[in-house]
Structure 1
Amino acid sequence: MSNDVKESFANDAPPAPAALAAKVRTLAPSMTRSMQRVAEAVAGDPAGCAALTVTGLAELTGTSEATVVRTARLLGYPGYRDLRLALAGLAAQQQSGRAPAVTADIAVDDPIADVVAKLAYDEQQTLADTAAGLDTGQLGAAVHALAGARRVDVYGVGASGLVAQDLAQKLLRIGHIAHAHSDPHLAITNAVTLRSGDVAVSITHSGATGDVIEPLRVAFEHGATTIAITGRPDGPVSQYADHVLTTSIARESELRPAAMSSRTSQLLVVDCLFVGVAQRTYETAAPALSASYEALAHRHAPRGRS
């Protein structure tokens, strides 16, 4: 993500208090180390930081007042005063129990009940963070492109490949021509045949997976509309994306690889795209869905003896 794009966040409506932590997780990888210290401080102790002046927060984080202000603007607030108000709101939510603190990582000796509770909370937080940080303008534009596409190619490898398959099969069920490609060679040879009016979607949590960036680049250069679903909007994949849909940054631990959390957020974005396309093409999507349900029901119905 370029500096111009980063600064454009300041022109958007300030995020709600509950969205602050999600914004920090999304943007922290692209910040300077000094700005990361400020962002981590406000996300980790909103009540304490809300009580500090800009000078006080700069001293606490070992940075400068200018760095604090730049961090506030990058997070979407016009100035530090607006960030302090958001921090106070977030602290109030946490104290009321409506915005609970992040639970501890899963330990090797955790009882299974604790594992279930921690995973459930982490899944909920991942979905909430993704929803809070999703640019609905970009989402709407992506839905518009998919709804009118002659053909859709979806690229993903590993865990993201499973999500690519999910998006393709959803679109197929409402009558759209869509194919998922996890083989990088097939992905590129198919991308070469895309043209204006077609859509290519790359799914990569890191934003740096060459096997999905290369076919997206080829599709982009051949005139197709391109979409990136990624946790790193500043990553290389965004160079070739007309529309970028940002997922939450996965919190990785020893017993919970990042792929597990990232897949949850990616699937939410896929569902948003699918529902949006189904809404826009309802007259053809509804009969197609009914036909697929009927076909599956008929396949699984008991058959009499011949």
Structure 2
Amino acid sequence: MTNDVKEIFTGAAPPAPAALAAKVRTLAPSMTRSMQRVAEAVAGDPAGCAALTVTGLAELTGTSEATVVRTARLLGYPGYRDLRLALAGLAAQQQSGRAPAVTADIAVDDPIADVVAKLAYDEQQTLADTAAALDTVQLGAAVAALAGARRAEIYGVAASGLVAQDLAQKLLRIGHVAHAHSDPHLAVTNAVTLRAKDVAIAITHSGSTGDVIEPLRVAFEHGATTIAITGRPDGAVSQYADHILTTSTARESELRPAAMSSRTSQLLVVDCLFVGVAQRTYETAAPALAASYEALAHRHSPRAGR
């Protein structure tokens, strides 16, 4: 993890209890196995772990006191005492029903009604986790950069490419010059033309998608402001990102690949960016949005085809 990424998670105020699960889910893949055991323990049984001393949690997870403290700090807490307070708060929320327990994975023989209920819960939890963990300082800086940009170029492939298209068309509708790129060769060719007044955005859940990282690197080296929307803020993409917007992901299962759950959180971040830019540029954004509505309405009017 780079120093800049560490500052995102350790330089701000400790996350609220409800954000703890989101932090664990986002950061666990980048932790050592011993730290993962600590993180999984506190997320799985907040009430039980809140009652343990640092020594007790170390013994429970088969790790050391130093590992417990390092895990607490990586999750955004100054020390283990602060993590215990958050665990107690999360346990209280779960007992009151405000933070429901995680549901079971979708099974092959689940009735369709159960599939709907489980997917709805997971989608809801993914959105809540993303909102809780999203750094609003980073988001505000990204919005400011986009609002004043000469043009915005957005890079994403596969499912993330669909999200890139969504952001591009949203920005276009409020009068901003924006393009989405999923072809890696065209993306790099485009990135070469970017300069200081431009913004480049990379969307990659894994944080390690080479076809997305490369154009962001080129844009970064040519002076553009760069933004990464990723579920892995410690991934390679962060090396070339001025601003990092972290997404959360629901539990991946055999019938629900990462692409499905990551898309949900990416779309929330995209909507936050769009609304923020629209607010900052309201005097021009509102007329542009109205004009796009009118143009589309006219296109689909029965009289338009005559």
Q: Same fold by TM-score, threshold 0.5 exceeded? A: yes
- 8 A Cα contact 1:2 1:234, kept in partner: yes
Aligned match of 1:80? 80
- 8 A Cα contact 2:229 2:266, kept in partner: yes
Report the CA distance between 1:10 and its aligned residue: 3.1
Aligned match of 1:220? 220
Report the CA distance between 1:59 and its aligned residue: 0.3
Report the CA distance between 1:251 and its aligned residue: 1.8
- 8 A Cα contact 2:122 2:250, kept in partner: no
Deviation per CA, 1:150-209, whole angstroms, max 9, x where unpaired? 011000000000000000000000000000000011101111111110000010000011
Counterparts of 2:305 and 2:235, CA distance in 1: 59
Counterparts of 1:125 and 1:74, CA distance in 2: 22
Please, which moves more after superposition, 188-197 or 64-73?
64-73
Residues 7, 40 of structure 1: CA spacing in aligned structure 2 closer, same or farther, 3 A cutoff? farther
Deviation per CA, 1:136-163, whole angstroms, max 9, x where unpaired? 0110000000000001100000000000
Deviation per CA, 1:48-75, whole angstroms, max 9, x where unpaired? 1011111110000011111111111111
- 8 A Cα contact 1:35 1:68, kept in partner: yes
Once the two structures are aligned, what percentage of the paired residues are identical?
A: 91
Q: Matched residue pairs, number? A: 306
Counterparts of 2:10 and 2:109, CA distance in 1: 45
Secondary structure at the aligned position of 2:229 is classed as strand
Secondary structure at the aligned position of 1:245 is classed as strand
Please, which moves more after superposition, 240-249 or 266-275?
240-249
Residues 8, 184 of structure 1: CA spacing in aligned structure 2 closer, same or farther, 3 A cutoff? closer
- 8 A Cα contact 2:5 2:238, kept in partner: no
CA-atom RMSD in angstroms: 1.3
Aligned match of 2:181? 181
- 8 A Cα contact 1:7 1:74, kept in partner: no
Report the CA distance between 1:282 and its aligned residue: 0.2
Deviation per CA, 1:212-236, whole angstroms, max 9, x where unpaired? 1010011111111010000000101
- 8 A Cα contact 2:123 2:250, kept in partner: no
Residues 178, 81 of structure 1: CA spacing in aligned structure 2 closer, same or farther, 3 A cutoff? same
Q: How does 1:70-109 map to 2 (within 5 A)?
A: 70-109=70-109
TM-score (norm 1): 0.97
Aligned match of 2:267? 267
- 8 A Cα contact 2:9 2:76, kept in partner: yes
- 8 A Cα contact 2:5 2:234, kept in partner: no
Report the CA distance between 1:31 and its aligned residue: 1.5
Deviation per CA, 1:234-258, whole angstroms, max 9, x where unpaired? 1011111111100003421111011
Residues 6, 187 of structure 1: CA spacing in aligned structure 2 closer, same or farther, 3 A cutoff? same
Moved beyond 2 Å, runs of 4+: 3-11
- 8 A Cα contact 1:154 1:201, kept in partner: yes
Residues 8, 262 of structure 1: CA spacing in aligned structure 2 closer, same or farther, 3 A cutoff? closer
Deviation per CA, 1:92-134, whole angstroms, max 9, x where unpaired? 1111111011100101110111000000000000001111111
Please, which moves more after superposition, 232-241 or 25-34?
25-34
Give the gaps of 5 or more residues in structure 1: none
Residue 294 (1) aligns with residue 294 (2) = yes
